[in-house]
Structure 1
Amino acid sequence: MATKSSFHFLIAVILLVSIFLTLVDGTSDMWKFSEFFSRRQTSWQLVASEKREANLAKIPPDWILEPQLLEDGRTRLSIVGDYIEDLLDDKARYITEMDVPELVAGMKNGLLTAVEVVTAFCKRAAYAHQLSNLLLEIRFDEAIERAQELDAYFKEHKRLVGPLHGIPVTLKDQFHIKGLDTSMGFIGWIGTFEGEKGTGKERNVESELIRELNILGAVPIGKAPETNNNILGYAFNPYNRNLSTGGSSGGEGAMQALRGSAFGFGTDIGGSVSMPASFQGVFSIKPSAGRISFKDTANTGEGQEVMPTVVGIMGHSVDALQVIIKSLLSLKPWLHDPYALPIPWRSEKEYNPRNELGYKPAFGFLANDGVLTPHPPISRAMEIVKEALANKGHQLIEWDWPHHRETLEIHSLIARGDGCPDVYEAIQLSGEPFAPEIANLFPNGKPRAPLPLPEYQQVVSRMKEYRERYLDYWTATAEQTGDRPVEAIISPVTPYAGVLPGKFYPSTYSSSVNVLDYASVVIPVTFANKDIDVVSPNFRALSDEDSMNMNEYDSEIYHGAPAAVQLVGRRLDEERLLSLAQLVVEALNDYKAALGE
């Protein structure tokens, strides 16, 4: 027995000596053992780092910002407007300041080429990404190649491919584009198809929306991240980097603020398009479910269809939003997506109240939901819109609905009632930590128990009953107007002009829109001003929760943040809502012009 033990000991010594000698002379790969164990411990960080480096390699060398310039940009409070524009040449600056209708007209008249337009926006997007980490996926080369094809088509046929010919677009990283990853910010999804390997679908699936954009002539140039993720980090507001971009389509909101594309798409189940648009001072539309196709789009909670995630659009004018949604509907998406409603773009004559001679649409006015009092910049934005419409002779009816708080519970139980096991599983694939914004979903590091089916059905019944009561209240406003019910409601998007990271409180202003499945359009109004937007000494909090919310507001910190409102329309009434939004914009422009602004 002793002899056998001695033999084993001798073998172990020989192996150790061998390993030592190979480490010294470098003739073996044994040195990689220590690196291997290090990689095991931090594998998610390495995968994220490799993804960032691969992305950076897709940016042309002459678009890479100098380290000193990059450092300067990353330390500035604001990088919108003049700062990012000064990085561009005159031509790129001129093109990227144009809106969708102008760009289309320029290419149709032969004054611009698709290559010029796409290249200019790709360059600006490259700068935006380097300054703010806003692209999980980059496809500049492919985009410029597609622009060349569009120019060749125009040269041969003397017409545009479609109504969005040559228009650069970015999208939240939920939409599948062939040749690109779709990670949704999950490290474990990189190089896979929604977390699965070996399916043959990796980088080989195309969302229905992408198919439609290609037919219309639009050119995807990249995909933007969730507001906070372990691949790119936190997306700060480019207007005021004390603040968040808002979630969850925050990366796309920031890309629009920096005009890295002509328009963008996000997804929304609780204000996830509307909030980033309002925080970044851009326009958006969140339609009712079924108006824009969600087919073959990555998502969490895919089986939840009673309050589904919808596709929303961000852009720089109401006109642009209208052109985009009208173009998408022209392709009859319901022929390809069973959940797309067969509702074509409806005639502007029928769905545009402005066409009725002498008719002045009335609006509901929701200044305070009775849960969270809007911060001073938002209250001022609301008053500006109120005065602008009153100057045009429009009635504004106080929206005195006392049941807003109900939507918070209904929304939470429906959207998170399953305990979010798919989110948990996606995070476990890589071992990455939970982003702070979702850590509360997993107490003790595990998903909550799902809501039992009978209880879930009760919540759905409660939602249906809530929708009925709300519609009855809306219809009854005809008694106050003396004519017909109000056409739309003006309300805050959230109580905040931006959010301090980690300081977000759920808001009925956004949750109610999804619970009701109503459409909403975000309209930028003004900017927070530290000399004007201060908390009144007469402010009395509605609750401890309201007090905490207002205590988070600091006029110095919020200075310069965009302040917006939303126009909320009834279910599936997008055409009418967009026409009303344009009416509000025109009233605002006249109001500001009268003040010399």
Structure 2
Amino acid sequence: MNALDSSTASVSSANKSWRETAAEKRQTDMEKIPLAWRLRESTVAEAKIRRSLVGTFIEGLLNAETQAITAMDVADLVQEMGSGRITAVRVVTAFCHRAAVIHQLTQNMLEIGFDMALKRAKELDDYFQAHHQLIGPLHGIPLTLKDQFHIKGLETSMAFVGWIGTFEGQKGTGKERNFESQLIREFHSLGAVPIGKSPETSNNILGYLWSPHNQQLSSGGSSGGEAVMQALRGSAFGIGTDIGGSVSMPASYNGIFSLKPSSGRLSMRGVANTGPGQLVMPTVPGIMGQSVATLRLVLKALLSKKPWLQDPYVVPLPWRDCEEYHPKPKSNMLHHPIPAIGFMANDGVVTPHPPVQRALRMAKAALQEAGYNLIDWDPPSNQESLEIHGCIARGDGCPDVWRALQLSGEPEVPEIEGLFEPHGPREPMSLPEYHDVVIHMRDYRNRYQDYWMSTATRSDSGLPVEVFISPVTPTAGLLPEKFFYAEYTNSTNVLDFPTVVIPVTTVDENVDKVDAGFRPFNETDRLNMDAYDARAYHGAPTAIQLVGMRLSEEKLLSMAQVVVDALDRYKTSSI
């Protein structure tokens, strides 16, 4: 029997048991939920047929204390614990309770660590009692993470059935449930408390994750589980991963804020991943939360730990305070010029759906009313990133994903069907071909930088734009199998630009209609617009994306708050 026959035989025998392994995993998770937090079967059944889970439905399943605590943002929680008005145990209990309810409604926790979290919260309270101070800037703050980050005492399966009970698919390493990613160690020293881990959007263990705002629509991927957790407020903030929009897209579809930093700002050391040897366009951790202030607080806290001292792939770049970018009187403009902002209504390749167009118009009008100088953004085409991104991300043929699937015999989820040949990975690119793609990426980055600098000739201040606004994706929400274009986010990974997603509005089926004069740029543009269904999308969150220069996260977050403030004033004045 040759190696291929042996692999096939292994798959054949494993096919009989992967469903049972997944079922046992689901049962193990359920047993970690205290009986007092279990929902009635009728409640779970009702949740499955509801269009929306947010608002009164989920709030009605929680007691008053849980509602009150989980409604607070991170800075407020820290302040309450620092004053002694509330304990870490009460905060962690409230979020664990809410997360338990969310999991039963949506099946979005691969790992549940409530017992561990409450034990840690008690330690934090004891420290506060003894020293009359918080242990760090995230003292007692519950978080959840995409299940790529290793936490002692919990498994990491990345939603591969074959990884259950192993360390990244291997047994007997001594690392099973006994290893921690660097980011987890940093959070521990900052006082943050992990309470569990979320899955990939589509997986064979828990199934498919839908948007809690509109359960006809996908939660987006691949960090969709974490986006659902944040949308329903199951933790105070979350961590996902991104290589092509995997944080930004689900954030936009679930009405939350997110930060995807440039590579090298946060540590990926000791994090499970596919394609771990691909470092030309690396996967990055991303932060999800309820406000720009939370994104800022978490990033600043993590950078205070000097992650570059432990991870040689992190850039030694401490937090840099940025001025608040608010318009100054004209007499002051010489010393405090108003920043210019680039504006991309569409990239000339695929036109956003009507609600995304409306969100962009709202942002533009809000910023213009606030006195900002907006410049049309027409850089090197996103079409070029289409020619680069897939070749780098999947140019090896994804043999590690294939091997992970073969461990249990589970099938590919629909999102990666066609990725492999019938009996194995596709042939990888040759090294010279790969070099050509990387050279193209370098040239694309250089030309994009030249374009960015050239905007100084069109800005009132005589300086290049600080950031630019664009769609996150062409769609507001996502009907499964109706997604045709990812280059608004893929391009930011190819360029290694940091991005912030800002929720703006929701789809209104009576307002957001396709313009009768719409003419597609190409076939993909036509397919995308034909997939728009105003009734199906109704109520879905709609967001914009703010993009900054490489490694400019602090400035980007400052500008993101400017946009949020301008939108708040604009919406208030429009009522």
Q: Does 1:465 align with 2:439?
A: no
Q: Distance in 2 between matches of 1:246 and 1:507?
A: 12
Provide the secondary structure at the position in 1 that maps to 2:101.
helix
Q: Secondary structure at the match of 1:477?
A: helix
Corresponding letter in the other structure for 1:480: R
Give the Cα–Cα distance (whole angstroms) in 2 for the partners of residues 56 and 173 of structure 1. 17
Instruction: Name the structure 2 match of 1:129.
Output: 103
The counterpart of 2:87, out of the listed 113, 121, 128, is 113
Partner of 2:498: 519
Q: Give the equivalent residue in structure 2 for 1:456.
A: 434
Aligned to 1:4: none
CA distance in 2 between counterparts of 1:540 and 1:39 reads 53
CA contact (8 A) 1:175 1:297 kept: yes
Counterpart CA distance in 2 for 1:103 and 1:416 is 42
Q: Deviation per CA, 1:133-182, whole angstroms, max 9, x where unpaired?
A: 11000001111111111111111111001000000000000000011110
Residues 365-393 of structure 1, C-alpha deviation per residue, up to 9 Å, x if partnerless? 01111111100110000000000000011
C-alpha separation in 1, matches of 2:314 and 2:184: 15
1:365 to 331, 338, 343: 343
Q: CA deviation at 1:401?
A: 2.4
- Please tell me whether residue 560 in structure 1 is matched to residue 539 in structure 2: yes
Flag the structure with larger Rg: 1
Alignment-derived partner of residue 10 in structure 1: none
**CA contact under 8 A between 1:441 and 1:447: conserved in structure 2?**
yes
Structure 2 equivalent of residue 200 of structure 1? 174
User: 2:201 corresponds to which letter in structure 1?
Assistant: T
Q: State how far apart, in whole Å, the 2-side matches of 1:563 and 1:587 are.
A: 17
Matches within 5 A, 1:128-167: 128-167=102-141
Distance 2:81 2:549 in 1: 36
Aligned residue runs from structure 1 range 357-396, under 5 A: 358=333, 359-396=337-374
1:143–1:219 contact (8 Å) kept in structure 2: yes
Residue 100 of structure 1 corresponds to 74
Q: How far 1:41 moved relative to its partner?
A: 4.9
Contact 1:117 1:167 in 2 (8 A): yes
Please, what is the CA RMSD of the aligned residues? 1.3
What CA distance in whole angstroms lies between the structure 2 residues aligned with 1:533 and 1:394?
A: 27
Q: 2:489 is matched with which residue?
A: 510
CA contact (8 A) 1:266 1:273 kept: yes
Aligned to 2:4: none
Matched to 2:533, the amino acid is: D
One-letter amino acid of the structure 2 residue matched with residue 578 of structure 1: L
Q: Deviations over 1:234-253 (max 9, x none)?
A: 00111111111111000000
1:437 to 2:415 alignment? yes
Return the alpha-carbon distance in structure 2 between the equivalents of residues 50 and 506 of structure 1: 37
Encode CA deviations 1:458-482: one digit per residue, 9 max, x unaligned. Answer: 1101100100000000100011114
Contact 1:370 1:402 in 2 (8 A): no
Shift of the alpha carbon at 1:443? 3.5
Paired position in structure 1 for 2:387: 409
Counterpart of 1:204, as a letter, is N
Question: How far is 1:532 from its partner?
Answer: 0.3
How far apart are the structure 2 equivalents of 1:568 and 1:112?
37
| 2:454 counterpart (476, 487, 499) | 476
SS in 1 for 2:29: helix
TM-score (structure 1 length as normaliser) = 0.92
Distance 1:40 1:429, change over 3 A: closer
Q: Counterparts of 1:128-277 in structure 2 under 5 Å?
A: 128-277=102-251
Extract unaligned runs of 5+ from structure 2: 1-11
Q: Deviations along 1:296-337, whole A, 9 cap, x unmatched?
A: 000010111010000000000001100000000001011111
Shift of 1:353: 4.0
Secondary structure of the corresponding residue to residue 402 of structure 2 = helix
Query: Does 1:543 pair with 2:517?
Result: no
State the one-letter code of the partner of 2:114: F
2: CA distance between counterparts of 1:252 and 1:445?
33
Give the Å deviation of 1:74.
Answer: 1.6
How big is the shift at 1:348? 2.7
Aligned AA (1:437): E
Aligned residue in 1 for 2:310 = 336
Which of 266, 269, 278 is the matching residue for 1:304? 278
Give, as a single letter, the amino acid of the residue that structure 1 aligns with 2:370. K
- Corresponding residue for residue 469 of structure 2: 490
Please name the residue that 1:30 is paired with: none
Aligned letter for 2:476?
A: A
Deviating more after overlay: 338-347 vs 49-58: 338-347
Structure 1, 74-83 or 130-139: larger mean CA deviation: 74-83
Cα displacement (A) at 1:535: 0.8
SS in 1 for 2:218: coil
* Structure 1 consecutive aligned stretches of length 4 or more whose deviation exceeds 3 Å: 38-41, 352-358
C-alpha deviation, 1:537, in angstroms: 1.1
User: Retained in 2: the 8 A contact 1:118–1:144?
Assistant: yes
Counterparts of 2:294 and 2:381 in 1: how far apart (Å)? 35
2:15–2:408 Cα contact (<8 Å) kept: no
Cα displacement (A) at 1:265: 0.2
CA contact (8 A) 1:372 1:507 kept: no
- Corresponding residue SS for 2:425: coil
Distance of 1:587 and 1:454 partners within structure 2? 49
Paired position in structure 1 for 2:16 = 42
Deviation for aligned residue 1:402? 4.8
Q: Deviations over 1:382-427 (max 9, x none)?
A: 0000000000111111112252101011001000100000000000
Aligned residue number for residue 573 of structure 1: 552
Distance 1:592 1:353, change over 3 A: closer
Looking at structure 1, the residues matched to 86 and 518 of structure 2 have their Cα atoms a distance apart, in angstroms, of 54
Distance 1:39 1:89 in 2: 48
1:489 to 1:320, Cα distance in 2 relative to 1, 3 A? same
Is the CA contact 2:356–2:476 (under 8 Å) kept in the aligned structure 1? yes
Report the secondary structure of 2:346's partner residue.
coil
Cα distance in 1, alignment partners of residues 394 and 446 from structure 2: 23
Percent of residue pairs bearing the same amino acid type: 59
1:400 maps to 378
**Count of aligned positions:** 557
Name the counterpart of 2:290: 316
Q: Check conservation: 2:241, 2:284, Cα contact below 8 A.
A: yes
Report Cα offsets for 1:277-306 as digits up to 9, x if no partner.
000010000000010110000001011101
Return closer, same or farther for 1:41/1:297 CA change in 2, 3 Å cut-off: closer
TM-score by length of 2: 0.95
Is the Cα contact below 8 Å between 1:301 and 1:422 reproduced in 2?
A: yes
Residues 190, 461 of structure 1: alpha-carbon distance in 2 compared, 3 angstrom cutoff: same
The separation in 2 between residues aligned to 1:67 and 1:226, in whole angstroms, is 25
